[in-house]
Chain A
């Protein structure tokens, strides 16, 4: 069964600290993995996308890693800012010759405290 599991469900850290969010997946055939940031009451916005052959990708203070062997990904946020308070959603895509399937994780709710 195609599944994406994220941990922790929620996280509170102080401004300026680093944090790491986790994503484990059982999706086949794997195509790519994307991290989205969703501010409260808004639609998700893509942060990074990683394919099978990539194991690290950065977008400013956000760095995503992918281990395709263990089917794990992480999103590391450096020097957190108040604006990082949001939900972070891991999304994995499976693509075969005819169609694609997109599986969403339930997200990690991150709160940054001043």
Chain B
């Protein structure tokens, strides 16, 4: 089985721009979670989608949004980028049992905001 894939792997944007990141989960996985990771902050939960519905949301401003498609692929959008949005954005998928907690992580998208 192919693992979780994320595109692009690296991205450079300027303040004020918007960005869309993509995540393809492991085949058969219906839950996709997004995390922001910055040095010293650890993994910060953004949101989780299951069957195209947002199930959980972290404490991030409304500039961060996401969606999930019928094939379980997910996208995350950040509008009006700020310097502090520079981070590694990780996507993780879980299998169809909503109470399953083993998450499989993708390689991440490294976003740099100039």
A31 touching B101 by the CB < 8 A rule? Answer: yes
Q: Is B13 an interface residue (CB 8 A)?
A: no
Q: Are B42 and A42 in contact (CB under 8 A)?
A: no
Distance in angstroms between the alpha carbons of A19 and B90 in the assembled complex = 28
Q: Are A106 and B108 in contact (CB under 8 A)?
A: no
Instruction: Place the interface of chain A in its size category.
Output: 20 to 34
CB distance from A8 to the nearest CB of B (A): 14
Q: Which residues of B contact A46 (CB under 8 A)?
A: 102
Per-residue CB proximity of A69-98 to B under 8 Å, as 1/0?
000000000000000000001000101000
Contact A99 to B105, CB < 8 A, known contacts A43-B4, A106-B41, A106-B42: no
Q: Does B32 contact A (CB under 8 A)?
A: no
5 cross-chain CB contacts under 8 A: A41-B110, A43-B108, A100-B99, A104-B42, A104-B43
